[in-house]
Chain A
Amino acid sequence: MSYTYENYDIAVIGAGHAGCEAALACARLGLKTIVFTVNVESIALMPCNPNIGGSSKGHLVREIDALGGQMGKTIDQTFIQSKMLNKSKGPAVHSLRAQADKHDYTEFMRRTLENQENLTVKQAEIVDILTEDGHVSGVVTHTGGIYPCKAAILATGVYLKARCLCGESITYTGPNGLQAATHLSDSLKRLGIELVRFKTGTPARIDKRSIDFSKMEEQFGDETVVPFSFTTNPEDVQKDQVSCWLTYTNEKTHEIIRSNLDRSPIYAGVIEGVGPRYCPSIEDKVVKFADKNRHQVFIEPEGNYTNEMYIGGMSSSLPEDVQYRMYRTVPGLENARIVRNAYAIEYDCIPATQLKSTLEFKKVEGLFSGGQFNGSSGYEEAAAQGLMAGINASMKLLGKEQIVLKRSEAYIGVLIDDLVTKETHEPYRMMTSRAEYRLLLRQDNADMRLTPIGHQVGLISDERYEALLEKKAMIEKEIERVKHVMIGGSKEVQEFLEAHKSTPLKTAVSLAELIRRPELSYEILEPLDKEREPLPEGVIEQVNIHVKYEGYITRQLRQVEQFKKMEVKLIPEALDYNDISGLRIEAQQKLSAVRPHSVGQASRISGVTPADISVLLIYMEQFNRSHRKETV
C-alpha cells in the first residue's frame, strides 16, 4: 500500500557526512528539506577512524567552513586532541587533524539537524526515485510512503547492497551492523545509472583496559590548538587533550598474516570490490611491502566516555581467530580484548563521470549525489561533496546560478573535477599533490578564497562577509606598508640580525626583504618595525606568508591565468562528438562518455591528447559561427 506524504522541495537520502552537509545547506537556504536515514542513531556516524582532517583533508574542512558548512564547527565542539601536521613545512601543506569524541560528534550533528529550521529528519530506507519526463518528482520509502519533491540528493555512503566480510563470515549489513539499503540500487539502474562495486575496511576496536601503554610511545596534541572553523574563538578550543599511542607490528605479526592469507576474503577472491591503495589492509601491507619488517600502529581513543580504542594501521578482513593472534603479537596488545572485529565492507557506488560538475546527474534532472556513493572515501571528502550538492540543488530550485569551484580556487574544486572527469578505479582520496595550485589553496586562506562565494550563495551572513572584507583590507594595507618601510644598517639592526643568525645589512633594505629571509619573519622583526600597529593574528599570518613566498605565489597566479583560459571555453551541450570527423575514435568515445562542460575539463580526460583539443576548438568555433549565423 502506498500513500502520499506532504511535499518537499528537496529530499536528501542518507544522513552521513555528505547527507548532513547537504540537508543543512538546503534548509539554511530556505528550501523545505527532508533527510532520510536508515537509523536516526547513525546520523554523522564515524564508522572508521576517530578523527577529522589530516593532510589535505584538513584543507577540505576549512573550505567547507568558509562556504558556510557545518563540519568544522562540529569538530571544534567535540575534539579531544588536535594537531597541526607538517608544521615544519611550507604553509601550503600545514593541515589540521583532530581526534573526535565519536559519540559527541554524532550527537552534536544530530542536534544541529534536529533543530534546523526547514529540515525534517525521517528514519526510513528509500527504495525508489520517482521521475516525470526525466525529472525527479519524488522518493518512496520501504513502507510505501511517497514523498513528492523537486530535487533529490543521493548520499547513501557505503550502504547500498552493503556486505561486510570478516574471514569466512559474511553479513549483509552496513557498517557497525546497521541495516543495509538493498532496494535503491535497482531503482537507480532503472533510471539508467551505472553502478560499480568498491570496498573499504576498518581495523578492530580494543578494550583500553587490556592494553599495556607502557610499551608504546605517547603522542600528544599541540600545545596551542588552532580551531577548524573561522567562526570559532581560538580561546574556546584550548582544553585538556587526550593522548594517542604508537606501537609497531613485527615479524611475528607478519608471519601469522602470511600463513593465513588463504583465509582472507580478498586473497581468496571472495571480495569483488576495488579497495583503496592509500589505506591498505595490514594483509596488503605485508604482501606488497614484504621487505618492511615492521609497520606503524596508532592506538587512538574513540571518545572520552568509552574504553574502545581504534587500532590505526591494522585494518583487516582476516577471520576473527587470526585477528586475535595477529593483534596480540603487537607490543602492548599482548592481552588485547577485541570489542569490535576488523572487517571489510563492499558497496555499490557510481562512476562519477555520470555527473555534471554541479554533482547533478546528466541523465536525470534534479537528481544530485555526493559522498562515498560518488566513489570517494573519507568523511571530509564526503562532507565537501554533500555541501556542494546541497548548494547546487538549492540554486537550481531557486533559479540561481549553480556553483562549480575551479581547481585553482579550492581543494573541493579539485576533488569534484577529478571525480567527474577521471575514471576512478578505487575510492578517491584527497591529497595535496592532486592540487596543481596548492600554494594558493592553503588552509589558512580558505576564508579569503571561498567566503565571498558562500555569501553570494546565501550560507554566509552579511556580518561574517563584512568581517572578511575588513580582514582583506588590513592584509593588503600591511603588505603595502612593509614593502615601503626601509631598514638601514644601524648598530641596533646589525646586532639584531646577528642575534638571529642573519647576515648583516650592507645597504638599507625594505622590511619585506628581511621578512623573506628563511630565518626571519614578520613577527620576529617586530622590534625593528617602529611604526607597527597591533593587528589580528589572522592578518599577521597572511602578511607573513604573502611577503615570504611572493615569488612562488606570483608564479602560480600566472599559471592559473593560463589554466583559466580553457576553463571558460564552455562546450555547447548539444555538441555531438561523433560529428567531429577529425577527432580520433578514442577521443570521440571518451568525450562522449564524460561530456565535459569546458574545454579545460576535456583536456583532463585521460586519452584525450592536445591535438584532439585543437581539433575540438576548431570544431567549436565552426559550430558557434554557424549557430551565430542562424540566430542572425
Chain B
Amino acid sequence: MISDTIAAISTGMTPSGIGKVRLSGDSAIEIADQIYRSPKGKKSLKNVPSHTIHYGYIYDGSQMIDEVLVLIMKAPNSYTTEDVVEIDCHGGVVVMRKILETVIKYGARPAEPGEFTKRAFLNGRIDLSQAEAVIDIINSRNEYALKSSVQQLQGNLLNQIKEVRKSIIGSIAFIEAALDDPEHINADDYGMTLKKQIDENMGILEKLLRSCDDGRLLKEGIKTVILGKPNAGKSSLLNYLSGEERAIVTDIAGTTRDVLEETVQVDGILLNVIDTAGIRDTDDTVEKIGVEKAKKYASEADLIIYIVDGSTSMDENDLEILKLIRNKKTIILLNKIDLDLKTTKAAIEKETEHPIVEVSVKDRKGLEQFSENIRQMFFEGKLTFNDQIYITNVRHKAAIQEAADSLKMVLQSIADDMPEDFFSIDLMNAYEALGKIIGESVGEDLINTIFSDFCMGK
C-alpha cells in the first residue's frame, strides 16, 4: 500500500543536546537524500543499507542548516514498519524547526497528532493490548491541537483566513452556478475578475506565511513579562533584546489586545515578551505600573524579568511586587550600575531568592550573564516550550503554503486561457487547505453558497 511521508520533531522542544526530526513513509529516504550532503558530497542515502548512520550536513538548496547524523531504517524493520529516517541535529529549537520545514518543503507533510504511533499500530508494530493507549494518544493530541489551533490564532489572523476562504468559496460558487445553469448565469471571461481577487488573496496569504516564520501566527514562545517602575529601563531592555540579539522580531499592534507583544530570541530560545511599557503609553494618567496590573501579568507569565532601577531607592511598590512574584520563575535585573547605586544587590537579596544580575542596559554591561541565566533555566527544564503550539504552527504553515500553491495554479490556468471550470478545481483545494487551519471542513459549504447567492432553477 502507498503511504505518504510524514514528518515531525520527535524529541519535543526541550533543549536536550540532540534534536531528532523523524520521517516515515514511502519517500522518506528520497526526501532525506535531497537535502543531505556527506562531507565529500558523494554519498547518496538511496543506496545505503538499512540501519546505518551517516554523518553529514542538511542543506536547503545552497544554504547549510546544520551538521547532522542521519539514521536510515528501511521497511519493515522500523517503528512504523515503513521507511524511516531520523535526522539528529544539534537540538537548537531554530535548527530543528528549520530542518522540519525543509523536509516539508521537499515533499513530506507534517504528521497529524499521534500519527507515528497510529501507523505503528496499524502496521502491526504495536501490541494489541496497546490499542486503547494509542487511541488515547490520538484523542488527547487532537483535542489539544484543535484547541490551540483556533484559540492561539490571533483574532485578526483568524479573520483574515476566514475572509480569504469566503472570497474563494464565493468565486467557486459563481463558477459552479454558471456551469449548472448556463442559461441563467454567464461565467464567460470570468478569469480577469478572478485574477484580481486571487492577487489580493495571495498578498494576504504571503503575509500570513511570513507571520508563520516569525512565530507570530501562533504565539509559540515562552510567555515573558518585563516588570519595573517607569524609567527602570524596561524599554531599553526590550530594544536591546529585539534590536541587537534578535533573530525574530515583530511587533503586533494587536487589534484585540491593548498591549504590545514581541517575540525575541535569546540564544535560540524564543521569548514572547509582553511589553508592559506599552500599557503605560496607552494610559497617560497612570504613570507607574500599578500592583494590580503587575499581579495580572505575573499570574499569566512563564517568566518574569523584573528590572530594578539601582539609581533610586526601593519603595513599597517594589516590595509588594517582589512578594507577588515570589513563586514565579523570575530573573531580577539590577539596572543602571553605571550610576551611583542607591539600591544594592545585597539589599534586594534580602527580599528574594531569585537570581539577580547586575547590568547596565545602556552600556550593554552584564547582559551576557543575563542571557546565560535564561539559557540555564531553560536547559535545566525550569522553562519549557509549548511544543504542541509550535507543531501546530508548522502544520498551519504547510496548509497556508498549500493554499497559496493552489491559487498559483489557478493563476496559471487563467494565464493558459483554460475554461472556467478548471479554476474551481484548484480553488477548492485552496479552500480546503485553509479550512484545516480553522478546523472547518468543506461539507455543504459550496452547495449552500450557490443556493444562497444565486437564483437558480427551472
B131 close to A313 (CB less than 8 A): no
B132 close to A581 (CB less than 8 A): yes
A611 close to B138 (CB less than 8 A): yes
A-chain residues with CB within 8 Å of residue B179 when the two chains form the complex: 55, 86, 89, 93, 432-433
How far does the alpha carbon of A407 sit from the alpha carbon of B63 in the complex, in Å?
44
Stretch at the interface among A206-214, A235-243, A264-272, A287-295: A287-295
A85 close to B122 (CB less than 8 A): no
> Can you list 5 A-B contacts with CB-CB less than 8 angstroms, sorted by A residue number?
A49-B458, A285-B457, A432-B179, A611-B138, A615-B139
A279 close to B443 (CB less than 8 A): no
B180 close to A313 (CB less than 8 A): no
- A-B contact sample (6 more), CB < 8 A, given A86-B421, A621-B121: A285-B455, A313-B458, A432-B421, A433-B447, A615-B139, A618-B118
Chain A 600-616 per-residue mask, 1 if CB under 8 angstroms from chain B, else 0: 00000010011100110
Interface membership of A177, Cβ < 8 A: no
B-chain residues with CB within 8 Å of residue A277 when the two chains form the complex: 451, 456
B residues 386-420 touching A (CB-CB < 8 Å): 416-420
How far does the alpha carbon of A180 sit from the alpha carbon of B176 in the complex, in Å?
37
Interface membership of A134, Cβ < 8 A: no
A439 close to B425 (CB less than 8 A): yes
Interface membership of B192, Cβ < 8 A: no
A313 and chain B: residue at smallest CB distance: B458
Q: Given A55-B182, A85-B182, A90-B419, are A279 and B458 neighbors across the interface (CB < 8 Å)?
A: yes
Chain A 33-71 per-residue mask, 1 if CB under 8 angstroms from chain B, else 0: 000000000000000110000011000000000000000
User: How far, in Å, is A500 (CB) from chain B's closest CB?
Assistant: 14
B-chain residues with CB within 8 Å of residue A5 when the two chains form the complex: none
A residues 415-434 touching B (CB-CB < 8 Å): 422, 431-434
B3 and chain A: residue at smallest CB distance: A565
B418 close to A90 (CB less than 8 A): yes
How far does the alpha carbon of A277 sit from the alpha carbon of B421 in the complex, in Å?
22
A439 and chain B: residue at smallest CB distance: B425
B-chain residues with CB within 8 Å of residue A89 when the two chains form the complex: 179, 187, 419-421
B183 close to A296 (CB less than 8 A): yes
B421 close to A92 (CB less than 8 A): yes
A-chain residues with CB within 8 Å of residue B131 when the two chains form the complex: 618-619, 621-622
> In the complex, how many residues of chain B place their beta carbon closer than 8 angstroms to a beta carbon of chain A?
50
B135 close to A86 (CB less than 8 A): no
How far does the alpha carbon of A88 sit from the alpha carbon of B425 in the complex, in Å?
17
Interface membership of B422, Cβ < 8 A: yes
Interface membership of B188, Cβ < 8 A: yes
A618 close to B135 (CB less than 8 A): yes
B-chain residues with CB within 8 Å of residue A288 when the two chains form the complex: 455
Interface membership of B206, Cβ < 8 A: no
Chain B 147-172 per-residue mask, 1 if CB under 8 angstroms from chain A, else 0: 00000000000000000000000001
A-chain residues with CB within 8 Å of residue B121 when the two chains form the complex: 618, 621
User: How far, in Å, is B230 (CB) from chain A's closest CB?
Assistant: 49
A-chain residues with CB within 8 Å of residue B295 when the two chains form the complex: none
A51 and chain B: residue at smallest CB distance: B458
A291 and chain B: residue at smallest CB distance: B455
A residues 580-628 touching B (CB-CB < 8 Å): 581-582, 606, 609-611, 614-615, 617-619, 621-622, 625-626
Interface membership of B210, Cβ < 8 A: no
How far does the alpha carbon of A453 sit from the alpha carbon of B97 in the complex, in Å?
50
Q: Given A55-B181, A89-B421, A617-B118, are A611 and B176 neighbors across the interface (CB < 8 Å)?
A: no
Interface membership of B424, Cβ < 8 A: yes
A residues 251-283 touching B (CB-CB < 8 Å): 277-280
Size band of the interface chain A makes with B: 35 or more
B457 close to A313 (CB less than 8 A): yes
A614 close to B138 (CB less than 8 A): yes
Choose from B134, B187, B455 the contact partner of A280 (Cβ within 8 Å): B455
B residues 171-214 touching A (CB-CB < 8 Å): 172, 176, 179-184, 187-188
How far does the alpha carbon of A151 sit from the alpha carbon of B2 in the complex, in Å?
40
Choose from A88, A552, A582 the contact partner of B139 (Cβ within 8 Å): A582
Interface membership of A561, Cβ < 8 A: yes
A88 close to B188 (CB less than 8 A): yes
B417 close to A619 (CB less than 8 A): no
A-chain residues with CB within 8 Å of residue B422 when the two chains form the complex: 90, 552
A-chain residues with CB within 8 Å of residue B184 when the two chains form the complex: 296
Interface membership of A518, Cβ < 8 A: yes
Q: Given A280-B455, A618-B121, A622-B128, are A55 and B180 neighbors across the interface (CB < 8 Å)?
A: yes
Choose from A295, A298, A621 the contact partner of B455 (Cβ within 8 Å): A295
A565 close to B2 (CB less than 8 A): yes
A residues 71-100 touching B (CB-CB < 8 Å): 85-86, 88-90, 92-93
Question: Which 6 A-B pairs have CB atoms at the shortest separation, nearest pair first?
Answer: A582-B135, A611-B142, A279-B457, A90-B419, A277-B451, A433-B176
How far does the alpha carbon of A296 sit from the alpha carbon of B184 in the complex, in Å?
7
A432 close to B457 (CB less than 8 A): no
Interface membership of B104, Cβ < 8 A: no
B453 and chain A: residue at smallest CB distance: A289
Choose from B134, B181, B444 the contact partner of A618 (Cβ within 8 Å): B134
User: How far, in Å, is B151 (CB) from chain A's closest CB?
Assistant: 17
